[in-house]
Chains A and B, each alone.
Chain A
Amino acid sequence: MNIAINNLKKTFGKGENLKVAVDIEQYTINSGELLGLVGNNGAGKSTLFRLILDLIKADTGTVHMDDVDVSKTEAWKDWTGAFIDDSFLIDYLTPDEYFQFIGRITGLTNEQLQEDLKKFEHFMAGEVAGQKKLIRNLSAGNKQKVGIVAAMLLRPQVLILDEPFNFLDPSSQSIIKHLLTDYNKETGATILVSSHNLTHTVDICPRIALMEDGHIIRDIDNHNGEAQTELENYFNTN
């Protein structure tokens, strides 16, 4: 599934307080790509994701998934999974109930749902599924896991995850890296991941977009892992 961004612009505020959150003339994420999005706070990563998911209105421009303009129809929601923050979670459900809710409203049977959930057993590490805890009572890391699993549950062709490594323990970070790369290889899904963790991003993303003040200032080919140095230089982490 190609994602094509054209003349996309989003600003917040007015007059002196005007802030350009996203301003991208033309950018295409090819079908099957695993794209990493990096940038400092306020660079526009989350806003870009929200624009792609039609959660906020663009001032100008369009986002197309193949031929579908995301702001015009809801068809793209059938093949898209996403997790950005807690506002994606119904926090008075238990994780199992939430997975069941997502599964059933999108047409999965209970058997299919249980089968799909098995793939995430290792990632959930016995702390998420089968618990009698409401999502709001889970730790931040476990909430993150619920959101990621729910986004991947329906085997979407487009997967969008904002800061998926946040709050996760090192083991879970490692597992999610493998889950994402394996999923990408198995299904050919287009995956967009934003992160402040340069190492993880470089490890899993063959292509990395660097954002600054709403613009994609560099589009880095990372097939051979050469983005690490360039990113470290940009972020002055050395």
Chain B
Amino acid sequence: MTPIQLYKLLKQTESLKDKRHPMFERNRFLKFLMFFMVAYYAALMLIMGVSLGAGMRTEHSAAFHQLDGGFFYILIIDFWMRFTMQETPAQKMKNYALLPIKRSFLMKSYLFRTVFTWGNTFWGFFLVPFGLISIVPLMGWWAFFGWLLGYWLLIVANGLCYLFTRALCMKHMLWFLVPLALHAALICACVIPDHNIFRVPFILFMYGFAQWNILSFLIAGVAIFLALWANYRLQMGMVHDEVAKKEEVSLKRVSQFNYLSRYGAMGEYLKLEIKQRMRNKQVRMQFFMGIGLITFFSLMLYFTDAYNGDFMKSFICLYDYVIMGATTLITIMCYEGNYIDGLMSRRETIYDLLRAKFYFNSAILLIPFLMIMPLMINGKISVWMSLGYMFFTMGVLYPCVFQMAVYNKNTLPMNAKLSNGSQGTMMQSIISIVILFLPIALEKLSLLLLGPQWGYMPLILLGIIGIATHRLWLRNIYSRFMACRYENMEGFRASRNG
């Protein structure tokens, strides 16, 4: 077999992996949904490209200069989006470890594919219309192609940087803090001072592509080459670790959480919730990402004036309360899918588990409450707003998100180092949107009708009603879960090792 034939075969095998995923294969709706989501985001980017291409132009500056001055925002978004979609070559090579294929060939072919994957051209849906409107009339087609090629090269380099970071994260999760800190520093350096010091160099650098300036291409080329070389070295070193991966065998200390034992069986379920977050990489990561986001937005609101508008204040306050629920509860029962048979062979365990989840997630709302406290003290967020959203989250939004316990039926790996792909469903997306925007709409309506003094009372009252009746709505969810238990269990089983 020639190297090209082998490369094609590997590519074909990889593409089958997604197509033949148990959940994907069984679910025509999911297939449609995947197509729809791609089409939706492509259309969204297309519209943004057209509108920004025409709208970003100022008296002193062309639209593409405006975009180029902040091109790293595109790279930052691109970088973090990849965490939900892209595996490292070391992870992929595990499947071929025992086959008579040279590892160096496998690694090179994977890195090659990383460069030439269609995913790297997805930004084209935004950049092509943007460039057609803003560059072609001013500088012609040749400049447009150079500019587009420049962006593609930078996105490729960005993808390789992501791959490098992700490989490091496989060694230790905290490596993700490095790009996080870098990106945060870059954003702060651009946002905080009166004059953005990076803007002009960035514009000149990107303008170089439009002018087919060798220096811009050389910088991008060197960046790609270095990123490829670093990835090759790092990933090859990790293949062995990945193949012979062995978890830590013994715990240094077994946390007992005995103080919860006084609550009897409920205490055991609460311990289960805590241990699930502490002892499983994926769940822990999700939890700390939530806390990281709460901290980040609270600090941004505290230290900058960038989000001082009423809408952004409301949004950030709400976001701080909702983010934990939106990220962890939206996939409620998906982690339990790993041991669903054990739970289902005991009486009413699911009802008790749901109660424990409600108590636990209500208790952790203290974290955002404490984070928001300095904002309440400095007057950026009112006490009533904070209390309103906290109670509303507990008593109204949680009942909404808990409905997912009936509809979620795909098992998520708990201890995978990082997600191997987006597992969101249409229902999860809808609920996420509802919980992020419904409260703000209600708040605005309530403030309009009742004024700033009493405006948050309806949110608080609704929240208290939801909290007081939690056993009723949880019982209802449990009954509905039991009514469709066979279908759900089948889904959990089918996707358990998928």
Give A contacts to B, CB under 8 Å.
Answer: 50, 53-57, 74-75, 77-78, 80, 82, 84-94, 97, 100-102, 104-107, 131-134, 136-137
Quick check: A87 and B496 within 8 Å, CB to CB? Answer: yes
Interface residues of B in 253-289 (CB under 8 A from A): 253-254, 261, 264-265, 267-269, 271-272, 275-276, 279-280
Q: In the complex, what residues of A have CB within 8 A of residue B344's CB?
A: 54-55
**Number of chain B residues whose Cβ lies closer than 8 Å to a Cβ of chain A:** 39
Q: Which of A56, A88, A100 contacts B486 (CB 8 A)?
A: A56
Contact of A77 among B252, B280, B345 (CB under 8 A): B345
Docked complex Cα distance between A84 and B340 (Å): 12
B415 in complex: contacting residue of A56, A89, A106, A136, CB < 8 Å? A136
Choice from A77, A86, A101, A136 contacting B347 with Cβ under 8 Å? A77
| Structural contact, A97 and B339, CB atoms closer than 8 A | no
Does B14 sit within 8 A of A, measured CB to CB?
no
Report how far A56 CA is from B414 CA in the complex, Å.
24
A97 pairs with B275, CB closer than 8 A: yes
Cα–Cα distance between A56 and B338 once the two chains are bound (Å): 16
A57 to B486, Cβ gap below 8 A?
Answer: yes
B484 to chain A, nearest CB (A): 10
Shortest Cβ gap from A75 to chain B (Å): 8
B249 at the interface (CB under 8 A from A): yes
Contact for B251 among A53, A86, A134, CB less than 8 A: A134
B18 at the binding interface (Cβ < 8 Å): no
What are the residues of chain A within 8 A of B342 when measuring CB–CB? 87-90
Q: Which 8 pairs of residues, A with B, have the shortest CB-CB distance?
A: A57-B486, A88-B342, A77-B347, A87-B341, A92-B279, A104-B268, A105-B265, A132-B251
Q: Does B247 contact A (CB under 8 A)?
A: yes
Q: Considering only CB atoms, which chain B residue lies closest to A75 in the complex? A: B347
A88 CA / B172 CA spacing, docked (Å) = 30
| Cβ of A150 to closest chain B Cβ, rounded Å | 8
- B245 at interface by CB-CB < 8 Å: no
Q: Count CB-based A-B contacts (< 8 Å).
A: 90
Q: Are B251 and A104 in contact (CB under 8 A)?
A: no
Known contacts being A104-B264, A105-B265, is A94 close to B496, with CB within 8 Å?
Answer: no
Nearest-neighbor residue (CB-CB) of B487 within chain A: A57
Spell out B's residues near A (CB within 8 Å): 247-254, 261, 264-265, 267-269, 271-272, 275-276, 279-280, 338-342, 344-349, 352, 414-415, 486, 489-490, 493, 496
Smallest CB gap from A94: residue in B: B254
On whether A136 and B346 interact (CB within 8 A), knowing A90-B339, A91-B338, A93-B275, the answer reads: no
Complex CA–CA separation, A122 to B11 (angstroms): 52
Q: How far is the CA of A80 from the CA of B269 in the complex (A)?
A: 21
Listed A/B pairs (9) with beta-carbon separation below 8 Å: A85-B341, A87-B338, A88-B345, A91-B338, A92-B275, A93-B275, A105-B268, A132-B250, A133-B250
Residues of B with C-beta under 8 A to A100: 268
Complex: A92 Cα to B489 Cα, angstroms: 20
* Inter-subunit contact A92/B345 (CB<8 Å): no
Contact B272 A55 (CB under 8 A): no
Q: What B residues does A84 contact at CB under 8 A?
A: 341
Inter-chain CA distance A7–B415, complex, in Å, is 42
* B267 to A: closest C-beta gap in Å: 8
Cβ contact within 8 Å between B339 and A88: yes
CA gap between A77 and B341 in the complex, in Å: 12
Chain A neighbourhood of B496, CB < 8 A: 87
A residues near B486, Cβ cutoff 8 Å: 56-57
Given the known interface contacts A91-B338, A136-B247, the answer about A82 and B276 at a Cβ–Cβ threshold of 8 Å is no
Which of B272, B279, B280, B342 has most chain A Cβ within 10 Å?
A: B342
* Chain B residues whose CB sits within 8 angstroms of the CB of A92 once the complex forms: 275-276, 279-280, 414-415
CB-nearest residue of chain B to A86: B339
In angstroms, Cα B346 to Cα A54, docked, is 11
> Could you tell me the distance in whole angstroms from the C-beta of B490 to the nearest C-beta in chain A?
7
Shortest A109–chain B CB gap in Å is 10
A133 CB contacts on chain B under 8 angstroms: 249-251
Q: From A102, which residue of chain B is reached at the shortest CB distance?
A: B346
Contact (Cβ within 8 A) A77 B338: no
Asked if A105 contacts B269 (CB within 8 A), the reply is yes
Q: Which of B254, B280, B345 contacts A55 (CB 8 A)?
A: B345
Say whether, besides A87-B496, A89-B339, A82 and B251 are in contact (CB < 8 Å): no
Would A97 and B254 count as touching, CB distance under 8 A? yes
Residues of A within 8 A of B268 (CB): 100-101, 104-105
* Sample of 13 further A-B pairs with CB below 8 A, known A87-B493, A133-B249: A54-B344, A55-B344, A56-B489, A78-B347, A87-B338, A88-B345, A92-B280, A92-B415, A97-B254, A97-B275, A137-B247, A137-B249, A137-B250
